Amino acid sequence: MTPIDATGPSGILSRKALTQDQKVVYTRILVILGVVVFWEIAGRFLINPAFLAPPTHVVRALFTTIFASPEIRYAIWLALVEVTIAYALAVVVGIAIGLAVGITEPGRKAMFPIIVMIWVIPNITLLPLFMVVFGLGPVGKIAYAFSGGIFPIMVNVIAGMRNVNQLYVRGTQSMGGSRLDELRHVVFPNMVPSLFTGLRLGMIVTMLGVIASELYVSANGIGYYTRLYSEVYDPAPLFALILTLAVISITLNELVRLAERRFTRWRR
């Protein structure tokens, strides 16, 4: 078996690419460590701990207060379920409406401005209406989060379909391709980047919707405990809850990113 020549052009490029990736990873780690160290020093020596708990106190509160409480554990689990259901509904309905609107030029011209006009309405102003219609329980929070998460997905699906090269579409039609063939082999592959941009934005807005609804109307959700620790000036469990929400957000975002890599592999 002939060994690979690492000194050739391909070997040099591989080493350069690997070195670049390592630099990115190391830079990211150094930035995070720098922020944590500065936060620890500031929380202990520069700022009143009642306003900024150092990371060591936050980690301790995470295990002694947050994870040790069955009520808070249940609140975190319930928030994750609500986000998952609302996001799944937003993805299915948003893609379906986006495809229906964006499939024709008249449809895009007629409906796209209306969708954007509704999207720019501050969603938080509609929260009382959703609570009146759907109640104060999980259904109301899911409906409210869904109403926010669906718009980035719809808008990016329509925008992605608008950017598809019409020569490819007419070529598929001239070869006898059906509308399904047009969507599957031309439209969808070319709208994937825009679609996943919408999926990421939709996930963020959906989670913000769940948290916002719990902050204002929940009596036992994760938003309620966040508000409680803020009102009693207990920053350690407050930051621990925020850290938990950040981990959930990063995990969901990474799942979307993995799906994006799977569907955009052909572009590399």
What is the pLDDT at residue 152? 92
23 lies in the same domain as 155: no
Q: What confidence tier does 1 reach under pLDDT thresholds 50, 70, 90?
A: very low
29 lies in the same domain as 153: no
DSSP string spanning 214-263? Answer: HHHH-SSSHHHHHHHHHHTT-HHHHHHHHHHHHHHHHHHHHHHHHHHHHH
247 lies in the same domain as 183: yes
What is the pLDDT at residue 94? 92
20 lies in the same domain as 132: no
For residue 8, is pLDDT > 60?
Answer: no
> Residues 78-108, buried b or exposed e (16+ Cβ, 10 A)?
bbbebbebbbebbbeebbebbbebbeeeeeb
The CATH code of the domain that includes 179 is 1.10.3720.10
Contact 155, 201 (CB under 8 A): no
- Which residue would you say has higher pLDDT here, 161 or 213? 213
Q: Confirm whether 53 is domain-assigned.
A: no
Average pLDDT for 29-51: 80
19 lies in the same domain as 130: no
Q: Which of 9-13, 173-177, 264-268 has the highest mean pLDDT?
A: 173-177
Average pLDDT of the chain to the nearest whole number: 79
138 lies in the same domain as 217: yes
Q: Is the dihedral of CA 166, 168, 169, 174 positive or negative?
A: positive
What residues make up the domain containing 25?
10-46
Rounded to whole angstroms, the Cα distance separating 113 from 180 reads 26
74 lies in the same domain as 173: yes
38 lies in the same domain as 77: no
For 199-252, how does the pLDDT look when each residue is reduced to its tens digit (9 = 90+)? 888 988 998 888 888 877 776 778 788 888 887 778 888 888 888 888 888 888
Residue 64 backbone phi and psi in degrees, to 5: -90, -25
Rounded to whole angstroms, the Cα distance separating 191 from 262 reads 14
What is the pLDDT at residue 85? 93
What is the pLDDT at residue 12? 46
Q: Confirm whether 68 is domain-assigned.
A: yes
Rounded to whole angstroms, the Cα distance separating 75 from 241 reads 11
32 lies in the same domain as 82: no
Q: Confirm whether 3 is domain-assigned.
A: no
Q: Confirm whether 5 is domain-assigned.
A: no
Opening angle at CA 50, ends 46 and 54, nearest 5: 60
Contact 124, 174 (CB under 8 A): no
Q: Confirm whether 2 is domain-assigned.
A: no
Q: What confidence tier does 14 reach under pLDDT thresholds 50, 70, 90?
A: very low
- Which residue would you say has higher pLDDT here, 260 or 89? 89
Rounded to whole angstroms, the Cα distance separating 263 from 258 reads 9
- Which residue would you say has higher pLDDT here, 80 or 108? 80
158 lies in the same domain as 127: yes
124 lies in the same domain as 247: yes
For 51-91, how does the pLDDT look when each residue is reduced to its tens digit (9 = 90+)? 778 888 888 888 888 888 888 888 889 888 989 999 999 99
For 121-156, how does the pLDDT look when each residue is reduced to its tens digit (9 = 90+)? 888 888 888 888 887 788 888 999 999 899 999 998
Calculate what percentage of the chain has a pLDDT beyond 90: 8
What is the pLDDT at residue 153? 92
For residue 107, is pLDDT > 80?
Answer: no
35 lies in the same domain as 88: no
**Pick from 258, 249, 247, 240: nearest CA to 208:** 249
Q: Confirm whether 28 is domain-assigned.
A: yes
Helices first, then strands: H and E counts in the chain: 11, 0
Q: How many domains does the chain have?
A: 2
Q: Confirm whether 73 is domain-assigned.
A: yes
- Residues across the chain: 268
Average pLDDT for 10-35: 69
Q: Confirm whether 52 is domain-assigned.
A: no
Residues 6+ apart with CB under 8 A from 97: 150, 154
E strand or H helix that includes residue 28 = helix 9-41
> Residues 125-144, buried b or exposed e (16+ Cβ, 10 A)?
eebeebbeeeeeebebbbbb
Q: Is the pTM of this model over 0.85?
A: no
